[in-house]
Amino acid sequence: MSYLVISFSHKNTDIQTREKLAFPSEENKDRFLKKILEDDIVNEAILLSTCNRVEIITSVTHTDAASKSIIKRLANYSGIDFEDLYDRADIYEHDGAIHHLFSVASALDSLVIGETQIVGQLKDAFRFSIAKKYCEQKLQRALHYSFKCAATVRNATSLGTGSVSVASTAVAKAKEIVGNTSGVKALVIGAGEMSELTIKHLLSSGFDVVLTSRDIKKAQILADTYEEHIIVEEYSKLNDLLNEIPVMITATSAPYPIIKQEMTKNCSFERYWFDIAVPRDIDDIDSPNLIVYTVDDLQDIVDSNMSLRAQQAKTAYSLVNKMSLEFFEWLKSLEVEPVIKHMYIKGEDIIDKKVQTAIKKGFINREDEENIRKLCQTVITEYLHQP
């Protein structure tokens, strides 16, 4: 049985392709995982779908056949031609699959190197497969070790500090454009995890935050978690808000664009909209004094981020290499573990018999039995340590 990871990310696909590959709901994920597990050569599967990547993490009996089978299912789901998907896909097998998984968990393969969300998203994907019984011992071992690797990288480097998420990068870009943010309103659409991060960074950058969501109760609960005052507006006012507020960041889980051309009026002031959702929340819009940024448009900040973090990333990659090797060494030790355990038990039986025989024959005194037994156990332990 081998590890296999099929990866589509910002490295090999544009945002239009990633929109088609995205799994916006748990129902979508569940149906897809069931489909790929119908094939006998796919034994376990985890599906990670974020704004920047789709990772299909599996254990399989035949990597080449499994790759083609999974990508065919993905082609049917996305409506993208199989050959196109197969050519684009980064396919990692066994050692390479583990190294890639550890790199993803440690945020070294992210659009924003060191971003802090990815390990949480990977844990959520892992829990989902565990709950559905799509994931058993082989992947459980790999995922737990990947989280250990991520923690090691985070503790050994400063990659997890500073502006390290797509949300924070969007806010950084908005602040760079606006300059003095005092009194400048920023509209946030959505009340999920990404919106929560966005609000946090907007507040720390000095923006006045206006929040709206289809779920107004959830939006109010989110707003109440901050000490700073956040204006919560009804979603029915979205059209007006879009044409009154200069900065907008949207991060909903809607499967289709929620902001369209007809909602946009001509304004005399400059507007800057940031769409950090995949699939995109903003349709193709042409309007005077309006600039729309998608996830892929934040590349300039990402490039700057990478150059600043290059040395730290080098250290992090060496840790990933080291822990990938350690993982396979650990797996080998698990293979021999039952044998070693049996040898310990056999050793205890021999110690017991020999000590009792020695006491009966008068070779040792009964009051010395405990100390002699401890000495014998120490010898066995040291002898079996290397195997």
The CA distance from 6 to 58, in Å, is 9
The CA distance from 89 to 7, in Å, is 6
Cα 372–Cα 378–Cα 384 angle in degrees, nearest 5 = 140
The CA distance from 354 to 361, in Å, is 11
The CA distance from 310 to 246, in Å, is 34
The CA distance from 187 to 324, in Å, is 43
Q: Which of 51, 135, 149, 267 is catalytic?
A: 51
Three-state helix/strand/coil letters over 277-290: CCCCCECCCCCCCE
The CA distance from 353 to 373, in Å, is 11
Is 51 considered catalytic here? yes
Tokens of 306: 């990478």
Q: How far is CA 249 from the centre of its chain?
A: 22
Active site residues: 51
